[in-house]
Amino acid sequence: MTRRLYIETVGCQMNMLDSELVVASLRQRGYRLVDSPKRADTILFNTCSVRQHAEDKIYSALGRLKHAKRHHPDKVIGVIGCMAQKDQHQIFERAPYVDLVVGPGQLQQIPDLIERVTLGAGRQIEVSLGRKDGTREQISRSHESYDPLRDPTMRPTPFQAYVRIQIGCDKFCTYCIVPMVRGPEQGRPPEDILAEARILVDQGTKEITLLGQTVNSYRYTAHGKTTCLSNLLESLQEIDGLDRIKFVTNYPKDMTDDLLDAVHDLSKVSPYLHVPAQSGSNRILERMKRGYTVEDYRDMMHRIRQRVPEAAVTSDFIVGFCSETENDFKQTIDLVRECRFKNCFIFKYSERPGTKGAERMDDDVPEDVKKRRNNELLAVQNEICEEENLKFLGQTVEVLVEGPSKAARKQASSENVVEQLTGRTPSDHIAVFNGNARLVGRILPVRIYDVTPFTLFGDIVTDHVGPEVYGLELASPP
Ligand code: 5AD
Ligand code: SF4
């Protein structure tokens, strides 16, 4: 019997990749994806714990299923991913009709766990060890992920794919739950990463984004040889058919010159660097235990501008961290003004139980102050986005065509109709232009004629209409 699966994913790219793997493993067992929980007999929530808001959303989605479960007790409801690892049995207490709680390190067990539920074995829970519940070796093993199984249909587009190169994090920033829910930092063996990339390219993937919480800290040592991110990039550059390589998220302290030179020298590596600064105040950075000063960050920006002048740099900031004053916040604004990021993701501090921040510091910045600082910083960054985008006017950029634009998706379209398409430049800028839907998956030159803070608008530069063609015609005798 075909089972019908509905899966909802919140959170980062890691979670999107995890969902792709879960769907692949369930399809192998004959599951079919459906687009509403009503039509499904198995409902999974792949969850995020980074901020309270993300958890609240899941608990309210679960609340909405309470009634459905009463009427259809055979529906299997599962909570998987980071919140499953963080809240464990508490999820059963808050939503007693949940059947399945599975952490990010146990996702490969999901098909068997669902089967056990359907056979009447009752609730199932599988999670990894806590960071103090064993030796590093034991804890690491309990967090291992299973990457080889892929399902191209789950990706945003068939020619773009994520590849995990590292799991976990050892930085323990005081606000962050990730080291607790994703476990110790572990690099994947380079040969596994390259084998996976080759398979993806054989299946039509043109752009690969390497994933890690601190992706540029990637290291793998075997037989006395250590591989770092720049070595991996060099090997990936050699894969025929692969056009673009990106990597997220970077840790400022590990942005080595060697890596920056690789980004500059390797033609397939996008000049796009996401390097969260989190704050512009040394006092706050120290309380966050980020391991660098504002001066270190500035020095890193300087090295990026020198070695990869074409790079687009993006950042994350947290406003309203414990004890943040107006003066601390002003220094964050100064840093944002100075760095001229391509984009910034700005978050209001959200206290996470289990972190040092929650245990030792007071979440003392009122919500309305956090909100105001968030809006103020956003306004500064938006201005920069617009000014920076103006530089693209009249330029021709290479765009990987991803599909219909948001506006076009709302209207029905057919294969041969010209419609509004969207894609990204190597520096990760979003471009919108008119074209035929069959161009999806191609890399094309687009000439930019208008910009907004977040979008470049352009026309595809077509062959055969260049001045030389006119020249030939004019030169030919009457
Ligand atoms: N509160 C608010 N933002 C957070 N982030 C991580 N933890 C928290 C938290 N407790 C932000 C950081 C990180 C991004 C993924 O989420 O800016 O870079
Ligand atoms: Fe969290 Fe810091 Fe690790 Fe990033 S580096 S995942 S913010 S602990």
* Ligand 1, atom 14, residue with closest C-alpha: 316
Separation between Cα atoms, residue 224 and residue 349, nearest integer Å: 42
Instruction: Categorise residue 378: left if φ over 0, alpha if ψ from -120 to 50, beta otherwise.
Output: alpha
Distance 351 CA to ligand 1 centre (A): 10
Structural contact between residues 26 and 110, judged by C-beta atoms closer than 8 angstroms: yes
Burial class (CB in 10 A: 0-12, 13-18, 19+), 477: exposed
Q: Is the dihedral of CA 335, 12, 207, 219 positive or negative?
A: positive
How far is the first Cα of the chain from the last one, in angstroms, to the nearest whole number?
A: 74
Q: Which helix (H) or strand (E) holds 459?
A: strand 456-460
Separation between Cα atoms, residue 273 and residue 301, nearest integer Å: 10
* Ligand 2, atom 2, residue with closest C-alpha: 173
Q: Please state, in angstroms and as integers, the Cα–Cα distance from residue 39 to each residue in 6, 54, 390, 458, following that order.
A: 8, 24, 47, 41
* Ligand 1, atom 18, residue with closest C-alpha: 316
pLDDT score at 154: 63
Atom of ligand 1 nearest to the CA of 12: 15
Atom of ligand 2 nearest to the CA of 251: 5
Separation between Cα atoms, residue 399 and residue 80, nearest integer Å: 35
DSSP letters spanning 274-316: E---B-S-HHHHHHHT-S--HHHHHHHHHHHHHH-TT-EEEEE
Q: Is the dihedral of CA 81, 83, 85, 88 positive or negative?
A: negative
Q: Is the dihedral of CA 290, 291, 293, 298 positive or negative?
A: negative
Q: What share of the chain is helix, strand, coil (3-state, %, to 5)?
A: 40, 25, 35
The total number of residues written for the chain in this structure: 478
Q: Which of 169, 175, 250, 355 to mutate to test the pocket of ligand 2 (most atoms within 8 A of CB)?
A: 169
Atom of ligand 2 nearest to the CA of 176: 1
Does a cis peptide bond (omega within 30 degrees of 0) precede residue 249?
Answer: yes
Which residues does a 6 A CB cutoff place in the pocket of ligand 2?
Answer: 169, 171-173, 176, 178-179, 213-214, 251
Closest CA to 291 of 123, 173, 136: 173
Q: Please state, in angstroms and as integers, the Cα–Cα distance from residue 91 to each residue in 85, 108, 310, following that order.
A: 10, 20, 47
Q: Which of 214, 289, 292 to mutate to test the pocket of ligand 2 (most atoms within 8 A of CB)?
A: 214
Q: Which helix (H) or strand (E) holds 472?
A: helix 467-475
Please give the backbone phi and psi of residue 162, each rounded to the nearest 5 degrees, phi first.
Answer: -95, 145
Tokens of 387: 């000014």
* Ligand 1, atom 2, residue with closest C-alpha: 349
Residue at token pair 């706050």: 284
Distance 186 CA to ligand 2 centre (A): 14
Closest CA to 95 of 126, 122, 69, 127: 69
Atom of ligand 1 nearest to the CA of 345: 17
DSSP letters spanning 226-253: EEEHHHHHHHHHT-TT--EEEEE---GG
Atom of ligand 1 nearest to the CA of 350: 1
Residue at token pair 């950075």: 285
Distance 309 CA to ligand 1 centre (A): 28
Please give the backbone phi and psi of residue 33, each rounded to the nearest 5 degrees, phi first.
Answer: -80, 135
Atom of ligand 2 nearest to the CA of 213: 6
3-state secondary structure 3-17: CEEEEEECCCHHHHH
Q: Please state, in angstroms and as integers, the Cα–Cα distance from residue 42 to each residue in 3, 35, 36, 48, following that order.
A: 7, 12, 11, 20
Separation between Cα atoms, residue 126 and residue 128, nearest integer Å: 7
Residue type, 80: I
For the stretch 401-426, pLDDT in tens is 999 988 777 665 555 567 899 999 99
Q: Please state, in angstroms and as integers, the Cα–Cα distance from residue 432 to each residue in 160, 251, 448, following that order.
A: 18, 31, 9
Q: To 10 degrees, what angle do helices 190-202 and 229-237 make?
A: 30
Separation between Cα atoms, residue 400 and residue 403, nearest integer Å: 9
Distance 52 CA to ligand 2 centre (A): 16
For the stretch 68-127, pLDDT in tens is 899 999 999 999 999 999 999 999 999 999 999 999 999 999 999 999 999 999 999 999
Atom of ligand 2 nearest to the CA of 177: 1
Structural contact between residues 133 and 139, judged by C-beta atoms closer than 8 angstroms: yes
Distance 349 CA to ligand 2 centre (A): 14
Q: How far is CA 67 from the centre of its chain?
A: 33
Ligand 1 site, residue 154, Cβ cutoff 6 A: no
Distance 350 CA to ligand 1 centre (A): 8
Residues of the chain with pLDDT under 50: 465-478
Q: How far is CA 384 from the centre of its chain?
A: 23
Angle at 62 between CA 60 and CA 66, to 5 degrees: 115
Ligand 1 site, residue 278, Cβ cutoff 6 A: yes
Rounded to a whole number of angstroms, the CA Rg of the chain reads: 24
pLDDT score at 6: 97
Closest CA to 31 of 96, 87, 105, 111: 111
Q: Which of 176, 178, 297, 315 to mutate to test the pocket of ligand 1 (most atoms within 8 A of CB)?
A: 176
Separation between Cα atoms, residue 227 and residue 213, nearest integer Å: 17
- Looking at all shown ligands, the one closest to residue 214's CA atom is 2
Ligand 1 site, residue 175, Cβ cutoff 6 A: yes
Distance 182 CA to ligand 2 centre (A): 10
